[in-house]
Amino acid sequence: MTDLQPNDPVLTSFVAALKGDADTLGVLLHGSLASGQARDDSDYDLIRIATQEAYDAREPGQHERVSLDDGSVADVFYQTPSRMATYVSTPGWYTATYLAARVAFDRSGDIGAMLARMRTEADRIAHENTATAYDGYLNSFVRSMKSARRGDRLGQQLHAAESAIALIRTLFGLESTWPPYHDNLDPALHGIEQAQGWPAGFLSMALSRLVGDADASFQQQLEDRVERLLSSRGVAHEWGDDLKPLKALRFDIEGSLV
């Protein structure tokens, strides 16, 4: 079973050779070639799923670089079904790799089924953690506002940058979707904007400002829109009236408190 298109003879030839190895249970293509962002010099990023015995026999070298027929290189990481199975119930930094991967070879169909379960569970957990992510966003917003109030520019910017990360998790969680890696984020934001009623291109701009100029007045405007969105979806925060004084602060064009 595969979801690769038959338009890459180099990869097809390499995978065909792996099919003859009984210890190879599946192959996943990830990285820039899987996401359609490859450059001419991009390597093939592959996960080779092997039997436990074959995996153990390679210890401790679970990574190799393989030269392919056209002179390009495959970065191959070895994995086992049992290790992948643990990722289903415990998503983490590695989850986005597997959710964006494309199946190049699946001997029994079990690998594709596991990826489907990983997607379902990761999306469920992302939704379950929405309120926690929202609280993290508000906490960073509050700290950034307090930093701006006392003229601490560094604190203002760093807390605003942290709020951007929490906001991504909040908005994707609201749609029961595990966020992609940041370098694949921009295309995924379009669907979030459509689902939540944001103007086209707004979220990319907003996140760029949070990690860039961290403008205090813009942060206040953004927080108000986020709060109204979450409230409309039945997600209330636990800050009571504590946010009001910070939302009422006014800053001049230079970012100083007025």
The verdict on domain 129-247 having CATH code 1.10.3470 is no
Mean pLDDT for 157-168 is 98
Mean pLDDT for 206-213 is 98
CATH assignment of 9-125, among 3.40.50.720, 1.10.580.10, 3.30.460.10, 3.50.50.60: 3.30.460.10
Mean pLDDT for 18-37 is 90
Q: Domain locations in the chain?
A: 9-125, 129-247
β-pair type (24-30, 63-67): unpaired
Q: What is the DSSP string of 171-227?
A: HHHHTT-----GGGHHHHHHHHHHHHTPPTTHHHHHHHHHHTT--HHHHHHHHHHHH
pLDDT tens profile 38-95:
777 778 999 999 999 999 998 778 999 999 888 889 999 999 999 999 999 999 999 9
Q: Please, are residues 87 and 118 in contact by the beta-carbon 8 Å criterion?
A: yes
Q: Is 229 exposed, middle or buried (0-12, 13-18, 19+ CB in 10 A)?
A: middle
Q: If we measure between CA atoms, which residue out of 81, 83, 172, 183 comes closest to residue 124?
A: 172
Q: How far is Cα 197 from Cα 38, in angstroms, rounded to an integer?
A: 31
pLDDT band at 176 (very low <50, low <70, confident <90, very high): very high
